[in-house]
Amino acid sequence: MERRRYLALLGSATALPLAGCSSDDESDGGNSGDDSTPTETPESTPTTTPTATPTETPGRPNYSLSVSGVPGSVEIGEEFTYEITLSNDGGSTGDAVFGVDFSTPGEEWQNVAEQTVQIAPDESRTRESDPFSFSRMRVVQWRFWLEGEDNESYTYETDVVSASLEMEEGYTNPEDVYVEAIRIQMSDFYSYRDWQDEVTREYADEGSKWALLMFRAENKADSPKLIPFRDDVVLLSGSSQFDPVYINKEEDMYESGEVQPGVVREGWIPYEIPASLSRDDLQIIYSGSDFEGEWRVVWQP
């Protein structure tokens, strides 16, 4: 679970202000000074003791919780916010204890935030969460709860899916490696210089053509990182997948591997695809994974 990122998600959403105030008013009701003038003592007269008026006891606080804006589906890297509201329709102010738990299917609930607030009678407080995004594909379960006689709670589920991007839009994976599909060009042949330094044309097989993808990766982390391998980037058309192929052209080819912070690698990744396909028929897919989950990005040429 990305606990630290979930804590960031809650942000101002749980920062509900405390209600109520107190004041100390002091007044001097005594007499000062010395009055030397004698005064007559009046004759005592009967007094009537007033009847005590019953004091009305305020009712108990009655808190309720509501949540809005939790998405049913969201792409990795797509920011969203939600709102949480606490209301008190009781007769007095008291402590309200509420919190948020997270889980994924098959895992136990983990509490990531809990807070005690006070809200005056007939008042409510609403706060919007900090912007947040998920970095891996998964199903996330949320549970917002409020302590009380009924132990009120609400459970939501968010399906985190692959990111859909346009060409030249970038994506930064959980390892802080930035990737971008820049352009794709198609041709029946490509040219390269052979071992005799002569320009040679290499034609695709009959019924096929070459598709060359210009791909860019940059290590934005503070330590060495593996940037995507060529095989991590494939072309998809319907149910057909096309993996990178080896070609004789070496100039301007994309090179993968471990790179130092700030290093950029940009170059061509070659594919051989059916001659009948056009750019509109293709999707460019980059995917990766680590011990916490998987990520996937789809570019539409």
Domains parsed from the chain with CATH numbers: 60-161 (2.60.40.10), 163-300 (2.60.40.1240)
The string of pLDDT tens digits covering residues 7-66 is 444 444 444 433 333 333 333 444 444 444 444 445 545 545 555 444 445 678 999 999
Tell me how far apart the alpha carbons of residues 152 and 89 are, in angstroms, rounded to a whole number.
Answer: 15
Q: Which residues pair with 118 in a beta bridge?
A: 95
Largest CA distance in the chain: 135
Annotate 99-122 with b (16+ C-beta within 10 A) or e (fewer): bbbbbeeeeeeeebbeeebbbbbe
**Global confidence as pTM:** 0.74
User: Which helix (DSSP H) or strand (DSSP E) does residue 6 occupy?
Assistant: helix 3-10
User: Which helix (DSSP H) or strand (DSSP E) does residue 18 occupy?
Assistant: none
Tell me how far apart the alpha carbons of residues 137 and 140 are, in angstroms, rounded to a whole number.
Answer: 9
The string of pLDDT tens digits covering residues 97-140 is 999 999 988 899 999 889 898 999 999 999 888 898 999 999 99
Residue type, 214: M
Give SS3 for 142: strand
